[in-house]
Amino acid sequence: MKLNIHDSGPGDDGSAGEKVALLIHGGMSDHRTWHAFEEHLIGLGYRVVAPDLRGHGHSPRGAYRPELLADDLVENLPAGADVAIGHSLGGLSLALAASRLRPKRAVYSDPGFLLRNVPAGAHAGMRQMVASATAESVSAMNPRWSPQDVAAELAGFALFDPEFLSCIEQFE
C-alpha cells in the first residue's frame, strides 16, 4: 500500500551520505505528532522520513493487521536508516519491520507489542475520545503539551479511520 510520507530536512532529495531518521507515529494520530522532535532532528542534520500508517492521516484505508502495517513500512521507507523510532502502535509496526528495514538503531517508545492487553471497553473509550475531542479536552488530558502538540493531535484524530479500532479488537 502506498503510504503518505512526510519527508523533510537536509538531503530530503534522497542524496547519498545523509543521516536518516524514520519516525513512526502511534495509533489515532499521524506524522504531525513528531513536529517538535522532527525540528530537533533536522537541527542535528538528519533527513526525517515520517509515514502516516494505513488508516491514519492521508494514507489509504484498508485491512488493518499489524503485519500489514509492517509490510507497508518496508514498502515505503528507506532501508538502513541511522535511527528508526516507533511510538505505541508505531513501535509494534516498526518491531515487525525492523529486520527488513535494517535501521542502525531502533527505539521503541511506549510500544504496543501486545495488542491483547487492552482493557475491556478501551476501544469504545478511544472511539468516543476521537469523536468528541476538542482543544480543551486534549489540553486537559495533556497539560504539558504545547498548542502545536494539541493541534497535531486534533488533526490526527480528524483523519483517523475509526474502523481501525474495530479491526484491532479482533486481536484481543
Mean pLDDT, rounded, for 74-97? 96
Domain 5-169 classification at class level: alpha beta
87 contacts 24 by C-beta, under 8 angstroms: yes
Q: What pTM does this model have?
A: 0.91
pLDDT at position 140 is: 97
Mean pLDDT of the chain: 91
Identity of the residue numbered 164: F
pLDDT at position 172 is: 44
